[in-house]
Chain A
Amino acid sequence: MALVLRARSTGIVEKQAVGWRFLLAGVIVLWMLVSWALSAAAAPPQTDFSTGLSDRVVQFIDQQIQQGWEDNEVVPSPVASDGEWIRRVYLDVVGHIPPAKKVQDFIDDKSPEKRSKLIDELLNDPNYVRNFTEVWTNVLIGRNTPDKTSRVGMRKFLRESFARNRPWNEMVYDLLTAEGHFEENGAVNFVLAQLAGNINSEEYHVEATANTARIFLGMQVQCTQCHNHPFNEWKQNQFWEFNAFFRQARRQDHEKYDPQSGRMVDDYSELVYRDFTGPVYFENRGGLIQVAYPTYLGNEVDRDAADRREELAKLICHTDPQSQLARAMVNRVWGHFMGYGFTRPIDDMGPHNPESHPEVVDRLTEEFIAHKYDLKKLMRWICNTQAYNLTSQFNPKNDIDNPAAGEVPLFSHMYVKTMQAEQLYDSLMIATSADGAGGQLSGSEQERERWMRDFLRIFGGNDDEEPTLFSGSIPQALLMMNGALVQKAISSDSGSYVRTVLADPRYRNDTARINALFLAALGRPAEKTELAQLQRVMRADRDPVRAYQDLYWALLNSNEFIVNH
């Protein structure tokens, strides 16, 4: 805002200067004014917004993003209200909406540093670990666990790593090099999930090749399995050179006798080393057989290296001069919080697909590495930016900033994201427990898994979807409208949120009670027009408890509930 105002006042000054030249012919005055105007325009734009954190990385990002607004002649949306923002930061960091009491306390808090304080508090909340364990389990092995892969093991590795805030490059090193039992060494599950079929088939290591490049390096190389990439610079030989690193990996599945069925059933799986030293052979489009030796982005490793995955992990995690691992993670984490990354999709980076804000990516990558791949630091920078703190409402001066319509994101307002299944379930738990703190959140893990299976079966669990798309289906809507979970959520039994609100003497009248339900579900009070419409419907019901239950049903089923904006 300040930026735009300054641009306008500069224009006025120039016009006045023109007048003065005719009236006074004061060349010196003119020169002074022009130079003042020029210096004002050239000075780095000042930010009048702050979360309370003063950090040069955040300042740099803010300046760069503002430059993008100026260059594209958009005016950013205002800063999000406290209610809108606390709901967002909770969902993004700890994976569920804030309890009503937290929302109220935050709104009432007058401290100028309250946003940066809350960011730090949430990054140290146990649910930060839980949330990112879920997010990364889905990225690494998919929502539907592949056969003979351990979701439990994968989670265990991630949980322990996120809990200790291990450096990202160390985590990836483990994921790329791990060997052993799929529950004892959970890190093996990433590679294990990519291995299926006949080990002597050239397809056996193809998915591990493609997904390592895509997930950790933000590079799409799948197509180069068969031909040179039409857009990016990868050539077919590079795919197989990369593939050569994985050829020593093999899954070993163990079965056991099941006395009940009288059959052999899956027992456990291991990722083991297989002796392999030669080159990889592949067929080019011309039908010629070619050879490929393990090479990563032009760095060929010792052909006789004992452990090729270890060589690859060293290159990617420690010595890559292009720091692609850090760059790809910066893009991914930015995308997690903002709804869009600097490239679309977030895992297709390279000269063929220019970044929207290369200076920001450069700087964040540099700082991420300088701070030893500290994920919490990275998230802290992003959450404290002005862009992350803006409202999701468009204004007439930034409606072109609409990536959903194919535009390059300018981050002049927040982009609306649809809740993931996990966020939806956990948020329902928060919204409906009596203390509003989700007492069941950690308790009924089995129930949660069951509901998640139901939801994902009808949801599709399509991992390709961009988070900003609403891809809900009719069965999903039916599950929310009529399923047992929401029925339970709106119950007025003791221990329910509805009951608590109705019994609480602090909520003396209808408006106060309605607002209490709004705050718990949406993080805001009802607006006047809504209040009038809702009260008219509620009065039609002779049973007031039922009317409140139905209001809560409507709140939990609403578009506003299921999105993170």
Chain B
Amino acid sequence: MLNFHPEAMSRRHFLSHMAMGSATAMGATHFLSHLQANAAEVKSNQKACILIWLGGGPPTIDMWDLKPKSKNGGEFKPVSTKGDLQISEQLPEIAKVMDKLSVVRSMSTREADHARGTYYMRSSYVPNPTVVHPSFGSVVSYEMAPKRKELEIPAFISVGGGSMSPGFLGMTHAPFVVDRQGRIQNASMEGMDAQRLNQRLQMLTSIENNFIRSNRGEAGQAHKEVYTKAVNLMTSSQMKAFKYDEEPAEIRDMYGRHDFGDSLIMARRLVEIGVPFIEVQFPGGWDLHDDVFGRLKNTNLPRLDSGIAGLTRDLEQRGMLDNVTIVCMGEFGRTPRINQTVGRDHWATSWSILVGGGGLKGGQAIGATDDDGVRIISESYLPGDIWATVAHALRIPLNTVHTSKRGRPMPLANGGQPIKGLIG
């Protein structure tokens, strides 16, 4: 009855044959042996973006755009870097790779509320009661996932959670959330009896096909496709990408051996199997209304420093840096004025974002603020300009337009333009 050789069959084939109802003849043992057959292929030439999200709003005046001459300047001094700009003395490792990275110092984004700012920075659109806009990771998934046929896991991964909705692009392009250990809820094959899973899936296939055959519209088929993807994911060898602890000791050292660094290792491994967009939530808050200098110096900046420097070096060594764009930002900056509790409050008028890799020009400061950091004295930029720059690096055409559920055209990155000084 079998006219094919199970040994030569990939797992994908296994599933598709199962869909035709002939898989009952195939032993469950084959099912598992094929899981190992397609070892993850490492590819260094695929375009991708890693977003490092500093939730709460980072005080960029203490990080990327210091004001030593002003009373707003705070406790940290600027130091020279390997690029043509100075950054905070608290980021010494990043300073050493600053020729690869640039800072946009003239962000002006008007939304200084956490939720609204997050929405705006991630989608390029201000919140609007008529429509839910996708975050840019969902846009990348929508544009690039169909071209990454070999990818068996979702194209938009969020490490550490807390991301936003895929909006009108639909749940297929939702951020796929994993925790810091790279675990996906309910997806572990550990302790699962493969033969039993196989039997369950055969029965499921039989019931699902019967429903699809009964001719009641598309929902039955759509459901089956999502389940096929879920099983693909559970059994995919690409799941190994989440196992950051399999990296050699020297690589782990390079990233600083902390949870943030580990998450970045995971991001790099995901890029290697073809995931085009990964966001890494910085573990720890940036909403520094009090004790801003102490908390930066002791908690946030040392980890940010070793993590980002490690990622930059690692990508460089592997020849991946020109293909992987790094963006590091939060929902807004923080007030130049230092408040009574030695903190800084919300500020969207003039702040900075770190951008690098992806073939963009490194070592530069784009735009400028005045000596007190309160006003922009150059051209200013919106989140759409940052995402248009990323789109440029990922080769997503800038004239791409998506359509909301109510039929309204939504230009990519809200019509933003790539920042000239970065793409030159």
Known: A470-B218, A554-B200, A559-B208. A533 touches B21 (CB 8 A): yes
Q: Are A472 and B200 in contact (CB under 8 A)?
A: no
Q: Are A222 and B165 in contact (CB under 8 A)?
A: no
Residue from the list B196, B230, B405 in contact with A478, Cβ < 8 A: B230
| Among B33-41, B170-178, B343-351, B371-379, the stretch in contact with A | B170-178
Q: Measured between alpha carbons, how far is A559 from B217 in the docked complex, in Å?
A: 12
Known: A222-B130, A481-B186, A537-B199. A473 touches B206 (CB 8 A): no
| Among A95-103, A205-213, A501-509, the stretch in contact with B | A205-213
Q: Are B230 and A560 in contact (CB under 8 A)?
A: no
Q: Are A462 and B165 in contact (CB under 8 A)?
A: yes
Instruction: Return the chain B residue nearest A563 by Cβ.
Output: B219
Q: Are B207 and A222 in contact (CB under 8 A)?
A: no
Instruction: Return the chain B residue nearest A147 by Cβ.
Output: B115
Residues of chain A within 8 A (CB-CB) of B165 are 460, 462
| Among A150-158, A180-188, A545-553, the stretch in contact with B | A545-553
Q: Measured between alpha carbons, how far is A518 from B128 in the docked complex, in Å?
A: 45
Residues of chain A within 8 A (CB-CB) of B204 are 553-554, 557-558
Known: A474-B226, A559-B223. A527 touches B210 (CB 8 A): yes
Known: A206-B129, A394-B215. A477 touches B206 (CB 8 A): no
Interface assignment of B224: CB less than 8 Å from any CB of chain A: yes
Q: Are A211 and B129 in contact (CB under 8 A)?
A: yes
In the complex, per-residue mask of B167-198: 1 if CB is within 8 Å of any chain A CB, else 0: 01011101011000000111110001000100
Q: Are A530 and B210 in contact (CB under 8 A)?
A: yes
Q: Are B185 and A210 in contact (CB under 8 A)?
A: no
Interface residues on B, range: 35 or more
Q: Are B172 and A393 in contact (CB under 8 A)?
A: no
Interface assignment of B395: CB less than 8 Å from any CB of chain A: no
Instruction: Return the chain A residue nearest B207 by Cβ.
Output: A558
Interface assignment of A471: CB less than 8 Å from any CB of chain B: yes
Minimum CB–CB distance from B290 to chain A (whole Å) comes to: 12
Residues of chain B within 8 A (CB-CB) of A547 are 199
Q: Are B185 and A402 in contact (CB under 8 A)?
A: no
Q: Measured between alpha carbons, how far is A470 from B203 in the docked complex, in Å?
A: 22
Q: Measured between alpha carbons, how far is A481 from B230 in the docked complex, in Å?
A: 9
Q: Measured between alpha carbons, how far is A554 from B223 in the docked complex, in Å?
A: 13
Known: A220-B130, A474-B176, A559-B211. A464 touches B405 (CB 8 A): yes
Interface assignment of B229: CB less than 8 Å from any CB of chain A: yes
Q: Are A222 and B128 in contact (CB under 8 A)?
A: yes
Q: Measured between alpha carbons, how far is A481 from B203 in the docked complex, in Å?
A: 13
Q: Are A392 and B186 in contact (CB under 8 A)?
A: no
Residues of chain A within 8 A (CB-CB) of B220 are 416, 559-560, 563
Interface assignment of B42: CB less than 8 Å from any CB of chain A: no
Known: A345-B406, A462-B132. A404 touches B196 (CB 8 A): no
Residues of chain B within 8 A (CB-CB) of A553 are 200, 203-204
Chain A contact residue count (CB 8 A cutoff): 62
Interface assignment of B154: CB less than 8 Å from any CB of chain A: yes
Interface assignment of B24: CB less than 8 Å from any CB of chain A: yes
Q: Measured between alpha carbons, how far is A388 from B268 in the docked complex, in Å?
A: 54
Residues of chain B within 8 A (CB-CB) of A471 are 170-171
Q: Are B226 and A477 in contact (CB under 8 A)?
A: yes
Q: Measured between alpha carbons, how far is A470 from B224 in the docked complex, in Å?
A: 10
Q: Are B230 and A394 in contact (CB under 8 A)?
A: no
Q: Are A478 and B206 in contact (CB under 8 A)?
A: no
Residue from the list A211, A348, A460 in contact with B166, Cβ < 8 A: A460
Q: Are B132 and A478 in contact (CB under 8 A)?
A: no
Instruction: Return the chain A residue nearest B173 by Cβ.
Output: A473
Q: Measured between alpha carbons, how far is A227 from B152 in the docked complex, in Å?
A: 45
Q: Are A537 and B202 in contact (CB under 8 A)?
A: yes
Known: A478-B185, A478-B187, A550-B196. A558 touches B211 (CB 8 A): yes
Residues of chain A within 8 A (CB-CB) of B24 are 533, 536-537
Instruction: Return the chain A residue nearest B192 by Cβ.
Output: A482
Minimum CB–CB distance from B346 to chain A (whole Å) comes to: 13
Tell me the B18-34 residues at the A interface (CB within 8 Å). 21, 24
Tell me the A436-490 residues at the B interface (CB within 8 Å). 458-460, 462, 464, 468-479, 481-483
Interface assignment of B234: CB less than 8 Å from any CB of chain A: yes
In the complex, per-residue mask of B125-146: 1 if CB is within 8 Å of any chain A CB, else 0: 0001110100000000000000
Minimum CB–CB distance from A276 to chain B (whole Å) comes to: 22
Q: Measured between alpha carbons, how far is A88 from B112 in the docked complex, in Å?
A: 47
Known: A345-B406, A394-B215, A560-B208. A479 touches B129 (CB 8 A): no
Residues of chain B within 8 A (CB-CB) of A172 are none
Residues of chain B within 8 A (CB-CB) of A482 are 186-188, 192
Q: Are A483 and B172 in contact (CB under 8 A)?
A: no
Interface assignment of B9: CB less than 8 Å from any CB of chain A: no
Q: Measured between alpha carbons, how far is A563 from B216 in the docked complex, in Å?
A: 11
Residues of chain A within 8 A (CB-CB) of B226 are 470, 472-474, 476-477
Interface assignment of B396: CB less than 8 Å from any CB of chain A: no
Q: Are B406 and A554 in contact (CB under 8 A)?
A: no
Interface assignment of A541: CB less than 8 Å from any CB of chain B: yes
Known: A471-B170, A534-B206, A554-B204. A541 touches B229 (CB 8 A): no
Tell me the A510-565 residues at the B interface (CB within 8 Å). 527, 529-530, 533-534, 536-538, 540-541, 546-547, 550-551, 553-555, 557-560, 562-563, 565
Q: Are A530 and B207 in contact (CB under 8 A)?
A: yes
Q: Measured between alpha carbons, how far is A475 from B130 in the docked complex, in Å?
A: 27
Q: Are A393 and B203 in contact (CB under 8 A)?
A: no
Minimum CB–CB distance from A558 to chain B (whole Å) comes to: 4
Known: A418-B219, A460-B174. A477 touches B230 (CB 8 A): yes
Q: Are B216 and A475 in contact (CB under 8 A)?
A: no
Minimum CB–CB distance from B337 to chain A (whole Å) comes to: 20
Residues of chain B within 8 A (CB-CB) of A348 are 406
Instruction: Return the chain B residue nearest A471 by Cβ.
Output: B171
Q: Measured between alpha carbons, how far is A353 from B129 in the docked complex, in Å?
A: 20
Tell me the B399-415 residues at the A interface (CB within 8 Å). 405-406
Instruction: Return the chain B residue nearest A210 by Cβ.
Output: B129
In the complex, per-residue mask of B221-237: 1 if CB is within 8 Å of any chain A CB, else 0: 01110110110011000
Interface assignment of A223: CB less than 8 Å from any CB of chain B: yes
Interface assignment of B214: CB less than 8 Å from any CB of chain A: yes
Interface assignment of A415: CB less than 8 Å from any CB of chain B: yes
Q: Are A470 and B215 in contact (CB under 8 A)?
A: no
Minimum CB–CB distance from B122 to chain A (whole Å) comes to: 15
Minimum CB–CB distance from A407 to chain B (whole Å) comes to: 12
Q: Measured between alpha carbons, how far is A534 from B199 in the docked complex, in Å?
A: 9
Residues of chain B within 8 A (CB-CB) of A415 are 217
Residues of chain B within 8 A (CB-CB) of A402 are 217
Interface assignment of B212: CB less than 8 Å from any CB of chain A: yes
Residues of chain B within 8 A (CB-CB) of A538 are 203
Q: Are B227 and A557 in contact (CB under 8 A)?
A: yes
Q: Measured between alpha carbons, how far is A211 from B218 in the docked complex, in Å?
A: 31
| A345, A541, A557, A558: residue with the most chain B Cβ atoms closer than 10 Å | A558
Residue from the list B166, B217, B405 in contact with A404, Cβ < 8 A: B217
Minimum CB–CB distance from B255 to chain A (whole Å) comes to: 27
Q: Are B154 and A474 in contact (CB under 8 A)?
A: yes
Q: Are B129 and A222 in contact (CB under 8 A)?
A: yes
Residues of chain A within 8 A (CB-CB) of B130 are 210, 220, 222-223
Q: Are B176 and A475 in contact (CB under 8 A)?
A: yes
Q: Are A470 and B129 in contact (CB under 8 A)?
A: no
Q: Are B207 and A475 in contact (CB under 8 A)?
A: no
Q: Are A478 and B129 in contact (CB under 8 A)?
A: no
Q: Measured between alpha carbons, how far is A416 from B211 in the docked complex, in Å?
A: 12
Instruction: Return the chain B residue nearest A463 by Cβ.
Output: B132
Known: A537-B24, A537-B199. A473 touches B215 (CB 8 A): no
| A220, A345, A533: residue with the most chain B Cβ atoms closer than 10 Å | A533
Instruction: Return the chain B residue nearest A211 by Cβ.
Output: B129
Q: Measured between alpha carbons, how far is A348 from B406 in the docked complex, in Å?
A: 10
Q: 10 new A-B pairs (CB below 8 Å) besides A474-B154, A527-B210? A: A402-B217, A473-B171, A474-B226, A475-B177, A482-B192, A530-B207, A536-B24, A537-B203, A540-B199, A563-B220
A-B contact pairs, 6 of them (CB 8 A): A210-B129, A222-B128, A402-B217, A460-B165, A474-B176, A554-B203
> 8 closest Cβ contacts across the A-B interface?
A554-B203, A559-B223, A477-B230, A478-B186, A482-B186, A470-B222, A554-B204, A560-B211
